Structure 1
C-alpha cells in the first residue's frame, strides 16, 4: 500500500517538474506559426484598419506572421464566438470594440460568449471619440444652445449607426443628462446616417470623429460636443460634454485584444509584452492618431476593470431607454 502511494507521489512530482520545465520552452518557441487576428467587422472599416496596423507591428515585434481575418456578422458575435471556441494556444486572437465586450452583454438577451469568462485579455489598445453632430440648418452651435432650444419647445431627433450601438447609447446619455427627449432614428451604418444629416433629412446624429471630421472641414456639418473626457486631436476646437456642463455624457468606443480562455501563462505573457511594446512605438501611435484613434494602452487587468465598471452603467441606460439589439 505504501509502495503504491509512493509511486503515485513520484509520478505527480515528475509531472509537476515536466510542466515547470515546459513553461520556459513554450515561451521560447511561441510563436512558431502564423497568428490569426480576428476582426469581427467587414474589411475596410475602421476596426479593420486598426487591426492591420496592429498586425503589422505585432509581426515585427514577435518576429512571426500576424494576419487579419475578417469574420463579420451579428453585431460582432460571429467573430467573437469563433475566437472564444478556438484552441487556447495563442494562435487565434480577437481585436474588437466595446460593442463585443460591454454593449452586446446588455442589449442581447443571450450570448454564446461571456466578456470575462470566455476570454483571456491581452490588453486595451485605444479609443475612438463620439460626438453630437448637427446639420448646418440647426441654429445651435453648442450643446448648451441645443438644450436651450429644446426647453423652448423645439423637437429634435438624432440618428445613429444602429440600434444598440455605442452611438445609440451616447444619444440616450444626452437625453438623460440634459432632460431632452430626442427621438432615436437608427440607420444601418454611419454612411447612410451621415448622408441624411447632410441632406437635412435629420437634424442630428451621434457619430465618431473619424466620420465627422472630413464633413466638418468641408463645412457640411458641425459637432456640438464630444462624449469623451478629453478633446479630440481631429477636432481640437470642439468642447467635450463635460466642458459644456454635462460630465455624465462620457462614453467612448474602445478596443481590446483578447484570446480564448485558458491561454498558457508563458504565451499570454509574451503576447501581453508584445502588445505593450507595440503601443509604445511612436510610428504606431502616429498611425493611430492619423486614422482617428486615441492610442490608449491598458493591461489585461485594465480590461477586466473596464468591463466590470461599464456593463452596470450601460445596463441602467438600456433599461431606462429600452435599448435592445436588432
Structure 2
C-alpha cells in the first residue's frame, strides 16, 4: 500500500475515533448506571450513595442503581468496579478504606486504588463514639476510666477490620491508652445493631448511623471526633472541648470510574455530580444528617488522598493493624 494510502487510513481511523467519542458523550447515558457500594445497607456510605443515586439520576435523566457488595474491607466491591466495563455505566463509591487503608494493612490486594478515574469528591462526616445505654458510662471521661479500670473487658463493633470505624476506635485507644477488644461486622449498621442489642459495648461511626439510635434512647453518644460540635448533633460535645483534640476522624466518599473510562464520559458524570452537590435541598439534607458536601478538582482529590494516606499510615503502624 502506498504511503498516502496509509496516511489516509490513519486519518480516517482518527476521525472515526473522534466521532465515536463525541457520539458517546452526546448519547451518554443511554441506559441505567450502576453505583457499586463497598459495604452493606445501613452504613454511612450506603446512606450517602442512595441519596446521591436519586439526585444524580435526575441530572443524568437515567436511573442510578445502588448495588451493595459487602465483604473483605471493600475489596470485593473495588475489584468488581475495577474489572467492570469502562463505559461509564458502572461507577464506584470509594472510601477511606478502599482508597487508603487497604493498601496499608494488606501486602496484596485484588485491585489498584490508584487505577480508578476520579469523578469527584462527594461527602465527609465526622464520627461519633457511642456506648450501649446500660454500660454505666454517661460521659467520655467515665468511659475512659471504665476502660482503664478493667483492661480488655470492654469491646467495640465496627464495619470490619481496617474500616474507618475500626480505625477511629484504634485512634481512641492510642490517645487514651486503653485496651478495648475489637468485634468486626460486615457493615456499620450491623455494628450499631450489635451495640443496641447488647452484644457489644461501644461503636464509632458517622452521625447519620449513630444518632437515630441515640435519640431513640438505645445508645449514649459521648463524643464527636471533630474540632467543633455538629449542627446535626449539637448535644454531643466535640473531642476538642473534652481535651482530646487529636481524636478527629470522619468518613468520606468519592465517586470513581473504572480504569480506562473515556474522559468525555467522565466529564458528563462529573458535571452531573457537581450539579447534584450544588443543589440546596441536597446539601441541606446531608447537613441535617451530619454530612458535609465535598467538592474539588482531580488534583485536589490527589492531594487529599496523599494527606489521608500519611495520617492513617501512622495509626495503622502504631496499632499494628494487619489482615495478613
CA distance in 1, matches of 2:114, 2:86: 15
How many residues are matched? 320
Identify the residue that residue 218 of structure 1 maps to in structure 2.
216
- Distance, in Å, in 2 between the alignment partners of 1:100 and 1:93 is 14
Residue 65 (structure 2) pairs with residue 67 (structure 1): yes
> CA deviation digits over 1:65-121, x for unaligned, max 9?
32223333322212211110122111111124322212222222211112112x101
Instruction: Name the structure 1 match of 2:28.
Output: 30
* TM-score normalised by L of structure 2: 0.84
Q: Could you say which residue in structure 1 is the equivalent of 2:40? A: 42
Structure 1 residues 191 and 275: alpha-carbon distance in aligned structure 2, compared to 1, 3 A threshold: closer
5+ residue gaps, structure 2, are none
User: Is the 1:158–1:206 Cα contact (8 Å) retained in structure 2?
Assistant: no
- CA drift of 1:210 comes to 2.5
Q: Is the 8 A contact 2:117 2:260 kept in 1?
A: yes
1:226-253 CA distances to partner (integer Å, 9 max, x unpaired)? Answer: 1234433331122222333333222211
Distance apart, 1:61 and its partner CA: 0.7
1:258 paired residue among 245, 256, 259: 256
Structure 1: gaps (5+ residues): none
- After superposition, the CA RMSD in angstroms is 3.0
Contact 1:105-1:311 at 8 Å conserved across structures:
no
How much does 1:280 deviate?
A: 0.8
Matched with 1:157 is 154
SS in structure 2 of the partner of residue 129 of structure 1: strand
Find out whether 1:129 has 2:126 as its counterpart.
Answer: yes
**Structure 2 vs 1, CA of residues 263 and 190 (structure 1 numbering), >3 Å: closer, same or farther?**
closer
Residue 55 of structure 1 aligns with which residue?
Answer: 53
Answer yes or no: is the 8 Å Cα contact 2:94–2:255 preserved in 1.
yes
Determine the C-alpha separation between the residues in 2 that align with 1:193 and 1:38.
21
- 1:118-159, CA deviations, whole angstroms, 9 ceiling, x for partnerless residues? x1011111123212223454456235x6556777x5647340
Answering whether residue 263 of structure 2 is matched by residue 272 of structure 1, we say no
